Amino acid sequence: MKDQVSAAGSIPRRSRRQRKRSNLTAFSEPPGSSHYRRNGPCSTSSSKGVPNTGPIFSHQILVNGGQNVNPVETKVDLPNGYPPHNLRSWQEARMRKAEEADLSDTVLPDPASLPGLDSASLRLRKLLNNLKRGSEIPTDALRHNLEYAISVMEMNILKNTGSDVTASDDEMPTNLSPVPPEIKSWLVQTFSNSKIGTHSKKGKDRRSLRSVVHVVRASLFVDRMIRKSPSDRNNDIPPQVQMHLKNLDKWTFDIFELEEISNGNSLKYVFYQLLVKFELMKKFKISVSTLLAYCDKLQRGYNKHNNRYHNPIHAADVAQTLNILLMKSGFVNWFSDLEIFSMIMAAIIHDVEHTGTTNNFHINTRSPLAQLYNDKSVLENHHISTAFRMLNEGEGCDILRNFSSEDYQECRALMVEMVLATDMNQHFGQIKRMNQALKKPENLEKSKAMCLMIHTADINHPTKPWPLHYKWTERLVVEFFEQGDKERELQLQLSPLCDRNSTMVAQSQISFIDYVIKPTFNVLFDLFTKVNGREMRDVIVSMNQQNKEETQNSSGSTANDVLKRRFCDVTSVSSTFENAEQVMGILNENKDTCFLCMDHNLKQWTKKNEIEIANMFLGDDAFTEAAAIVPDPLPAAIYDPPPQNGTNKGNENLPKSNTTTKRTLDSPKKSGPS
């Protein structure tokens, strides 16, 4: 029987070929992927070699958002006193009780609770008894009971080391109990930080003076949201690239294709196009040659460590996604030109000179950067500092050269704030604080919304069509595994998700989407809806009536004031809400696309997860051969309806050929890994 464990108690061993393939079974799809399916030491006998969860236990529960793990009423019979005088009889009673345990039960008590501990030990007893008796145990049952026992033990470790995620760190979601242990420790290590809050002074020192922010004219409001990228012929951009850039405002925009057709210059073209589109080149007197020189520096910075994921394509992708978030939410109208410029800059530079390793890796290896930044947001500090250093290095690349000193200070303050907020250990705190702030959106600071938008754009790919999401995941996993290789070489403990021999990629992606991506996009769309809503409008109207004088008198802002600006600090409101219905329509359409893609991606990972687990356990060649899944077709609704009249308007605006001698944005050298 393939799916049973024999009386000898051993899981059928996998053939050498199977073990080799399980390194990255989720990534058997793309051709040419063999270079990263390296064969490190096989660790099937370690706890990491055992898949953390399976279709019955984890998958069901993850998909239901943990609803299956209602606290189960379990009576725990404890021996009296310690050491218990009646230990032997208590153990005998436990033996009997163990026999009552139903090993196929998947609704189990919270692993962090005493009933959880009780249930895990009874289950282990029953498994052992069955093995001794030679009874067969279904593989699924064996797996999920072992996983459960691991979860219980690890929750105890966390408790005993004072790092109980559910009790002591209120920024973490409290329903992590169904998450497999390795993924849980990755979530804890990566996304939470109890030292949070150094940037957000609350309460008393909230700015009392209102800053004057720009007012959007009614006629422009919706127009700005649906404005297409400039349609004029632009001789700075090759025709093929121009054509591709016409889709810049679409959720389905393919950044990899742009990278290819632009000869490795997607960052440069996206940056340039966004500045032109929002008329920021003119506004801030940035010359094309200065911008090009700065882009060259940035691209070199991004390529310094040859990362598969953290490279200029990622920066371009984040900037393009930020553009959609601005355009499709109506927020483009809530922000001043300077704020929009600062956001685009933050997106473009946010990972420059990334080392391809995590902050924890820097801290654990005591790297020079960790020492320089005292272990605090090591990489993020490095990115922002590098971006400003590059501006100041001369060689005609200072795109902020013509800024007034107030504008420079404001832009710098916002950029620093946004880039530091991309540190993933701020994630749970950021989401929690935003959820709280949205209970009173009139007090919401714009800088907090800007930070959330950049952070969301930074982790956007699980909400993009599967082929894009899959490519990004593949790249990220390669980078994680390379870090794991370095850790192995340095004899450090391998970071979660970095062990190429045991990481369950599909499963980790399911958890990432469920626990990180969904809550982030939910709160982001909540933010968009609330700020554009009636409640905000009423508050602004009444505040403007009460405080006309104060508003008029408010003038220059310090950097701190800039960060404290609120959405309702506007001098006029009538125009902002005039087109509310249309804005909401556009917003909801995009929300639907985003969640449709996310759900589709979850389904694909779920299929792959089943295959990953099968490869680990069944020892069946036929299964191993089936490692690649055929992804479901993408839902048609994620693509825009075809252009009316069957014409492709994009083509019409293109110059027939680019015979001009004018300088183009292309550089001959291919500058990014593809």
Ligand X SMILES: Nc1nc2c(ncn2[C@@H]2O[C@@H]3COP(=O)(O)O[C@H]3[C@H]2O)c(=O)[nH]1
Site residues (CB under 6 A) for ligand X?
Answer: 351, 422, 424, 458-459, 462, 473, 476, 497, 508-509, 512
CA–CA distance, 453 with 343 (Å, rounded to integer): 9
CA–CA distance, 254 with 234 (Å, rounded to integer): 21
Q: How far is the CB of 318 from ligand X (least distance, A)?
A: 8
Of 245 and 602, which CB lies nearer to ligand X in the complex structure? 602
Closest C-alpha among 461, 592, 469 to residue 525: 592
Of 152 and 476, which CB lies nearer to ligand X in the complex structure? 476
CA–CA distance, 115 with 240 (Å, rounded to integer): 63
What does 462 bind: ligand X, Zn ion, none (CB cut-off 5 to 8 Å by kind)?
A: ligand X
Task: Name the β-bridge partners of 5.
Answer: 137
What does 424 bind: Zn ion, ligand X, none (CB cut-off 5 to 8 Å by kind)?
A: ligand X
What does 225 bind: Zn ion, ligand X, none (CB cut-off 5 to 8 Å by kind)?
A: none
What does 459 bind: Zn ion, ligand X, none (CB cut-off 5 to 8 Å by kind)?
A: ligand X
Stretch (H or E) spanning 623: helix 621-625
Q: How far is the CB of 446 from Zn ion (least distance, A)?
A: 22
Degrees (nearest 5) of the Cα angle 160, 162, 168? 125
Secondary structure of 192-232 as H, E, C letters? CCCCCCCCCCCHHHCCCCCCCECCCCHHHHHHHHHCCCCCC
Q: How far is the CB of 318 from Zn ion (least distance, A)?
A: 6
Work out whether strand 137-138 and strand 4-5 pair parallel, antiparallel, or are unpaired: antiparallel
What does 262 bind: Zn ion, ligand X, none (CB cut-off 5 to 8 Å by kind)?
A: none
Phi, psi torsion values for 566, nearest 5 degrees = -110, 160
Phi, psi torsion values for 655, nearest 5 degrees = -65, 145
Tally of CA atoms within 13 A in the half-sphere of 284 that contains its CB? 29
Q: Which residues bind Zn ion (CB under 5 A)?
A: 351, 458
* Residue whose beta carbon is closest to ligand X: 512
CA–CA distance, 571 with 579 (Å, rounded to integer): 18
Do residues 245 and 275 lie in contact, with contact meaning Cβ atoms separated by under 8 Å? no
Q: How far is the CB of 428 from Zn ion (least distance, A)?
A: 18
Q: Is 362 a catalytic residue?
A: no
Of 111 and 496, which CB lies nearer to ligand X in the complex structure? 496
Alpha-helical runs (H) found in 304-404 = 312-329, 337-349, 359-364, 368-372, 378-392
CA–CA distance, 363 with 365 (Å, rounded to integer): 6
End-to-end CA distance of the chain: give it in Å, rounded.
45
The torsion region of residue 76 among left (phi > 0), alpha (psi -120 to 50) and beta comes to: beta
What does 540 bind: Zn ion, ligand X, none (CB cut-off 5 to 8 Å by kind)?
A: none
Stretch (H or E) spanning 592: helix 580-617
CA 588 to chain centre: 21
Q: How far is the CB of 424 from Zn ion (least distance, A)?
A: 9
Of 466 and 472, which CB lies nearer to Zn ion in the complex structure? 472
Helix/strand number for the chain, H first, E second: 30, 2
CA–CA distance, 512 with 517 (Å, rounded to integer): 6
Of 97 and 305, which CB lies nearer to ligand X in the complex structure? 305
DSSP state letter for 307? -
Of 210 and 469, which CB lies nearer to ligand X in the complex structure? 469
Q: How far is the CB of 461 from Zn ion (least distance, A)?
A: 10
Closest C-alpha among 346, 270, 340, 251 to residue 587: 251
Q: Is the dihedral of CA 556, 559, 564, 566 positive or negative?
A: positive
Catalytic residue among 144, 310, 455, 469: 310
Active site residues: 310
